Structure 1
Amino acid sequence: MRIRATLGVVTGALALSVLAVPAAQADEVQGDTTISGVVVNGGKAVVVGATAKKTITVSFTVKDASGVGWAQAILYHGSDIESSDTGSVANSSDHRSTCTTVNATTSTCKATFDLEPGTEVFNFAAGGWKVWAIATGKDNDYIQKDNAKSFQVQRLSKLTANAAPEPVKKGKTITVTGKLTRANWDAGTYSGYSTQPVKLQFRKKGSSTYTTVKTIKTSSTGALSTTVKATVDGYFRYSFAGTSTTPAVNAAGDFIDVK
């Protein structure tokens, strides 16, 4: 097994200098150790706000005929762990996964990771991430997987809607304004998400279903504005379908009283 003392892309508090981490240019296997069933954040995309630290769990199953020795998982952004973007690798706080014995040959392993804006996650790193994982058997068999699981890390989105004037006479024109923003991890705030398609939707009073009226695009600052005729009492909202870097979001419905 190829061993090195540190993982070069990790710096500062994430340094792994105390660990023996195998070089990770490609998957490796020796013997019958296996890693399977890797789940990140309960199978959901990891959505991180502008300032708050996000703690997630990675779980997986390890098997070896001689029994499971230990396991470790690392999160990274890049084509492979060796070329991971600086500052975009997060390591579990205890450096190794906690493994619970299921039977003589199988263990379930878990590790927790903290993703903090401006420390582990930066705007350029939104999108696809991967899990690097290694596990050993008690007989020194091992398996190393460069991409044990792929997952998404996204910038939390927010969306508003305001319909005016209100009340309004039937048949008159109203203007629905709003704004689509998302977490700016570099600045620790929320910034407008520009040129994104957003649906204007309407729900009639007494109904539980929104229907799409039209689709418009956000401005360079994330602003939204469009006009529509008022016909009956109900709620207008904007709806954003999301992208690979930003989750879907619906604005709260704004009620229009039509006289």
Structure 2
Amino acid sequence: MPIRALAAATTPAAALLTALSVSPAQAAAAPVITKVVVNEGKNIVVGPTAVTKYSAQITAKYSPGISEATVHLWHGSGDYDTADGHLSFDAPRCTTSGTTTTCTMNYQVKADTRDMINVVSNAKAGTWHISAWAYGKDRTQGGSYTFDTRNVQRASKLTVNAAPEPVKKGKTITVTGALTRANWNTRTWAGYSGQKVQLQYRPKNSTTYTTLKTLTTPSNGKLSTTTKASADGYYRYIFAGTSTTPAAKATGDYVNVT
């Protein structure tokens, strides 16, 4: 948060109460934030080692003009000032048309257990809050409140292997695989336990998958089940995702049935 804002800004809740107590004429004289978009409205997915980059845009209106507008992501159960994690950005790049100013800023985040800006540990996977501020050229502050939330998620992977192949019609095939996700604390991939994963099949000349059964992943995330081979086709595992981990699907593994 800019140094200027530290002196002038209140917490999101206090700012909202202040906004509710002013007269319509006073409210109209403050900068108004009309739009905030983070990562194109999508969740932010972070792997175990690579730096994840994304952007945010904020649009604000004010007749004297906007001098600066910023977007902040923070984690915690309280407010911005008591957050236990922050994702910060480079210098905003702003363009103005009439009384409307749009600013874009770039972010980056990586897995790390150290308590510092722009890193995440396992405990911080899930919901993050989006707060925004806009400042008029006459040093009037507006829009100091929480707009929305965004999930910051541990990247996931899902694999599949169907064997033997080729296989005789009516014989049993074994379908193995694994559901893993980024462990931000150890910066490695680790099994995701206790999750529902569906085994699906699609015939060779079809584009539609049908669910054959649902499995629950063990502690190591590994999957194994059997099914009868009926015709040439593809087998895959699919995972619906959670608030802390995105959905994943394996590329279908083709089995030739003779």
Verify same fold: TM over 0.5: yes
How far does residue 145 in structure 1 lie from its aligned partner after superposition?
Answer: 2.6
For 2:96, the equivalent position in structure 1 comes to 101
Mean Cα deviation higher: 45-54 or 19-28: 19-28
- Asked if structure 1 preserves the Cα contact closer than 8 Å seen for 2:132 and 2:146, the reply is yes
Give the aligned residue type for 1:199. Answer: Q
Q: 2-side partners of 1:76 and 1:69: how far apart?
A: 23
SS at structure 1 position matched to 2:119: coil
TM-score, normalising length from structure 1?
0.87
Q: CA deviation at 1:25?
A: 5.2
Q: Distance in 2 between matches of 1:59 and 1:89?
A: 17
Residue in structure 1 matching 2:73, options 52, 75, 81: 75
Spell out the pairing of 1:1-259 with structure 2 (5 A cutoff). 20-21=5-6, 22-24=9-11, 26-28=13-15, 29=19, 31-79=29-77, 80-85=79-84, 88-94=85-91, 97-103=92-98, 105-118=99-112, 120-259=119-258
Query: Counterpart of 2:227 in structure 1: which amino acid?
Result: V
Note closer, same or farther for the CA distance 1:53–1:207 as it changes in structure 2 (3 Å cut).
same
Query: RMSD in angstroms over aligned alpha carbons?
Result: 1.7
Give the partner amino acid of 1:32: A
DSSP 3-state at the match of 2:103 = strand
Tell me which residue corresponds to 1:11: none
Q: Which runs of 5+ in 1 are unaligned?
A: 1-6, 8-15
* Shift of residue 130, structure 1, vs aligned partner: 1.3
Write the letter of the residue equivalent to 1:181: T
Q: Is the 8 A contact 2:58 2:71 kept in 1?
A: no
- Paired amino acid for 1:41: N
CA contact (8 A) 2:134 2:142 kept: yes
Instruction: Give the distance between the partners of 1:179 and 1:247, measured in 2 at CA.
Output: 15
> Matched residues in 1 for 2:253 and 2:166: separation?
12
CA distance in 2, matches of 1:226, 1:251: 15
TM-score normalised by the chain length of structure 2: 0.87
Deviates more, 1:205-214 or 1:232-241: 205-214
Q: Is the 2:12–2:146 Cα contact (8 Å) retained in structure 1?
A: no
Letter in 2 for 1:46: I
Q: What CA distance in whole angstroms lies between the structure 2 residues aligned with 1:55 and 1:48? A: 9
Amino acid at match of 1:155: R
**Identity of matched residues, %:** 48
SS at match of 2:81: helix
Asked whether the equivalents of residues 193 and 220 of structure 2 are also in contact (C-alpha less than 8 Å), the reply is: yes
String of CA shifts for 1:81-101, please: whole Å, max 9, x gaps: 12211xx2111123xx32210
Q: Output one character per residue of 1:169-211: Cα deviation in whole Å (capped at 9) or x when no partner.
A: 1111111111000111111111100010001000111111111
| Aligned-residue offset at 1:155 | 0.9
Residues 112-148 of structure 1, C-alpha deviation per residue, up to 9 Å, x if partnerless?
1111111511111111111222111122221143312
Counterpart contact for 1:27–1:144, Cα < 8 Å = no
- SS of the residue aligned with 1:177? strand
Secondary structure at 1:56 match in 2: strand
The question of whether the paired residues in 1 share the 8 Å contact of 2:58 and 2:69 is answered with no
- More helix per residue: 2
Indicate the residue corresponding to 1:12 in structure 2: none
Question: Using the alignment, how far apart are the partners of 1:210 and 1:247 within structure 2?
Answer: 20
1:39/1:149 contact within 8 Å kept = no
Contact 1:61 1:109 in 2 (8 A): yes
Give SS of 2:218's match.
coil
Mapped to 2, the partners of 1:134 and 1:177 lie a distance apart of: 50
Residue ranges of structure 2 left out of the alignment (5+ in a row) = 20-26, 113-117
Query: 2:142 & 2:57 partners in 1: Cα distance?
Result: 16
